[in-house]
Structure 1
Amino acid sequence: MTRGNQRDNDRAKAQKKAAASKGKNTQSGSQYQKSKEDAAAIMREKQRKADEKRAAEAAGGGKK
């Protein structure tokens, strides 16, 4: 039954390695900051469009 134990140990080792590498940031500081700014700009644009839509529905009485 040696092989079964070895399989379990290898599986546990692989899971530990995958969990450790999952959280690492592979971008440099400036790249990370730029990606955060890009994502924030996209979200601001989406919010602006949603606000405009909400305002248009309120002014137009909810026409579709």
Structure 2
Amino acid sequence: MTRGNQRERDRERAQARKPPAGKGKIDDLTPEQRRERDKKALEEKAAKKAAQVVAGGGVAVDNKNKSTTVKK
């Protein structure tokens, strides 16, 4: 009851599914630096959306919840 080359084939398949080393997103940031970067990006996004609401007549659409709110 030997498995033949099944183990070797499974290793090859697992290696093929694994992403190549060095091709991932590496930013060399500490978790604290990453949080600061993300916080800044979210604040900029919120400010941009607020500016669009003011310029667009005061209607904000929440795409995530599919609801519409009117700011007065």
User: TM-score w.r.t. structure 2 length?
Assistant: 0.47
Q: 2:30 aligns with which of 18, 28, 31?
A: 28
Root mean square deviation, CA, Å: 1.9
Equivalent pairs counted in the alignment come to: 39
Q: Which of 1 and 2 has higher RCO (CA within 8 Å, sep 6+)? A: 2
Q: Percent identity?
A: 8
- Relative to its length, the structure with more strand (as a share) is 2
1:37 and 2:57 are equivalent in the alignment: no
In structure 1, stretches of 5+ residues that fail to align are 1-15, 57-64
Aligned to 2:63: none
Q: Could you tell me how far 1:23 is from its partner in structure 2?
A: 1.6
User: TM-score w.r.t. structure 1 length?
Assistant: 0.52
- Relative to its length, the structure with more helix (as a share) is 1
In structure 2, stretches of 5+ residues that fail to align are 1-19, 59-72
